[in-house]
Amino acid sequence: MSTQAVPRETGLGTRGVTISYGGAPVVRDVSLDIPDGELTMIIGPNGCGKSTLLKGLARVLRPDLGRVLLHGRDIWSYRGRDAARHVALLPQNPIAPEGVDVRGLVRRGRYPHHTLLRQWSPDDEAAIGFALERTGLDQLAGARASELSGGQRQRAWIAMVLAQQTDLLLLDEPTTFLDIAHQYDLLELCRELHRDGKTIVAVLHDLNQAARFASHLIVMKQGRAVAQGPPAEVLTPRLVEEVFGLACDVVPDPRTSTPMVVPHPRTPAAG
């Protein structure tokens, strides 16, 4: 199994972070850095602390121990609005306000940029227009968010965090409840945004999707980051068995040559 990399200074990282919900720690003594300009995916078994770590990175949960660093400063030393100009979080299962249309939803991404002295401006309109165009929703700007398909609705949420114009996008299980075609559509969009220069961190369950789309993986087990690096180096049969309890082969994907996990049968084939 790969060892935890030595942290280096980047835009976002953790130093000895432990996070709990008032009981036993869910994230335990994690030190890592999010590589700038990469599409990082956090994988691991259910309950291993993936989403909790992401919330810590997003300044939603305060660590019990350790620090989350944003551009070299403790993220909790920033005012909330200032931190939100650098890091945008799309949580699991966000709920749109009743009756809001797509443009109104995307507008909400501009709130961190407003103060008493700086209200709505042409820059806000430009950011919204770019976000709608980039997510393919410019023709649906007037549609109610509640009337969109699941895939369109998730793109609208992505557009909202894009309009926030942050250095980093954090996405918590963005493909949940999407059918398989929309899952791949959304992951293709993430890859396009990564190619545009965005630093993206996403929690994902599907190992093969993570291996195909990520440029960097963080693997968690029992609250700890146990491996990180490029998918081709990290995703090995030994790691998958040790972390997920799944005996498997890891072979090249026939379409992309990225690692593909092929599970061994749990029971012998009938003879």
pLDDT at 147: 92
Enumerate residues 6+ apart whose C-beta is below 8 A from 129.
138
pLDDT at 162 over 90: yes
Query: Does residue 175 share a domain with residue 122?
Result: no
pLDDT at 130 over 70: yes
Residue 71's nearest CA partner among 105, 44, 108, 34 is 34
Q: What would the pLDDT profile of 48-64 be if each residue is shown by its tens digit?
A: 999 999 999 999 999 99
Q: What would the pLDDT profile of 131-161 be if each residue is shown by its tens digit?
A: 999 999 999 999 999 999 999 999 999 999 9
pLDDT at 149: 92
Distance separating alpha carbons of residues 102 and 2, to the nearest angstrom: 43
pLDDT at 271 over 70: no
- Which residue has 């609005």 as its token pair? 81
Query: Does residue 186 share a domain with residue 263?
Result: yes
Asked which of 140, 165, 190 is the last residue of a domain, the reply is 165
Number of domains in the chain: 2
pLDDT at 5: 41
Distance separating alpha carbons of residues 134 and 169, to the nearest angstrom: 15
CB neighbours (10 Å) of residue 179? Answer: 12
Assign 4 a pLDDT band (cuts: 50, 70, 90).
very low
Specify if 91 maps to a domain.
Answer: no
61-69: average pLDDT: 98
Domain that holds residue 216: 1-86+168-271
**DSSP letter (8 states) at residue 138:** G
